[in-house]
Amino acid sequence: MLPVWRDIAVFFDASSAGEKIALHAAQLARKHEAHLVGIYGVSLTGEMDRFAGNARGEAIRHVVERRRNEEEQKVIAAGRWFANLSGQFAISSELRIVWRDGLDTDAVLRTLHSDVIIAAHPKPDDLPTGWLGERLLLATGTPVLLIPQSWTGETLGTNVLIAWNRSREARRAVNDAMPFISTAEKRTILTVDAAKNMNDPDQEAGTNLLQHLNRYNVEADIAKVASDGSPVADVIVREVAERRVDLLVFGAYSRPRTTELLFGSTTRSLLATGSVPMLISR
């Protein structure tokens, strides 16, 4: 039996970017016959402060009530839109509302039982700051599929590139991405400067991972690349473009935190420059 996801969570809002990410999530839910949980964000703080700053006394209460009524109407509209989307793709779904700014305990709990979180990157403007994909990953421990707002690809997960450095995080990412990896048309295991970092120079980089995938009847190619002094993230981004990859899989923050702080983070560089969907785990 091929690995599948049964519960998918998507963070979205009423913006065009938010609706686009919900559409991607619905497509994946249909493919995997998964239940889709739409987590709809309502951020009040910034708008409240702006309006209330010009009001006094009783006027403040009216401003607050009016603003809340407006948001309630948005929630009703979002519920109808999400229900129509679910009907269009014939999937089971539910909509959950989070009213507070930031990534609070409730938001974390709502995603703990999901196999994967889907989020736009960068996040849509109307979503709370705490809903950045990177922060969702660190707060929940659930793998996150980040889809760039600028991405216009017609396929997702048909040509998969695995950024492999033999770390615990990379192993976790491969395991979490198996629903994609097992059904992809092409898979590549990419190692960067592996010969310099391996204890056993006779062991070809990526071989053990390839053997593991073969036991699932999954074939893959191994690509060994030297950085020649370039940042690892730049090498990965270049390989993604040259190979026309439509999904990058990697483990986030696989180096010690002190090293990340001193020498910079490959993870953050990939998040800043990535132009294709990325499945990240930690």
User: Would you give per-residue pLDDT tens digits along the chain (282 residues)?
Assistant: 667 899 999 999 888 888 999 999 999 999 999 999 998 877 665 555 555 555 555 666 676 677 778 778 888 999 999 999 999 999 999 998 876 555 555 566 666 689 999 999 888 776 776 677 777 887 778 899 999 998 988 899 999 999 998 889 999 999 999 999 999 999 999 999 876 665 554 456 799 999 999 999 999 999 999 999 999 999 999 999 999 999 999 998 765 554 443 334 888 888 888 889 999 998
Quote the pLDDT of residue 37.
Answer: 95
Question: 159: left (phi > 0), else alpha (psi -120 to 50), else beta?
Answer: beta
Give the alpha-carbon dihedral of 274, 153, 39, 50, to 10 degrees: 70
- CA dist 52 and 61 (Å) reads 9
pLDDT tens per residue, range 213-250: 999 999 999 999 999 999 999 999 999 999 999 999 99
Q: Do domains 7-148 and 159-281 have the same CATH topology?
A: yes
pTM of this prediction?
A: 0.86
**Structural domain boundaries in the chain:** 7-148, 159-281
- CA dist 63 and 86 (Å) reads 35
3-state class of 222 per DSSP? strand
The CATH class of the 159-281 domain is alpha beta
Q: Where are the beta strands (DSSP E) in the chain?
A: 7-12, 35-41, 93-98, 116-121, 144-148, 159-163, 186-192, 221-225, 247-251, 278-281
Residues 6+ apart with CB under 8 A from 197: 165, 166
CATH 3.60.10.10 describes domain 7-148: no
Q: For 129, which DSSP code?
A: G
* Structure tokens given for 178: 């198996």
- CA dist 245 and 240 (Å) reads 5
3-state class of 206 per DSSP? coil
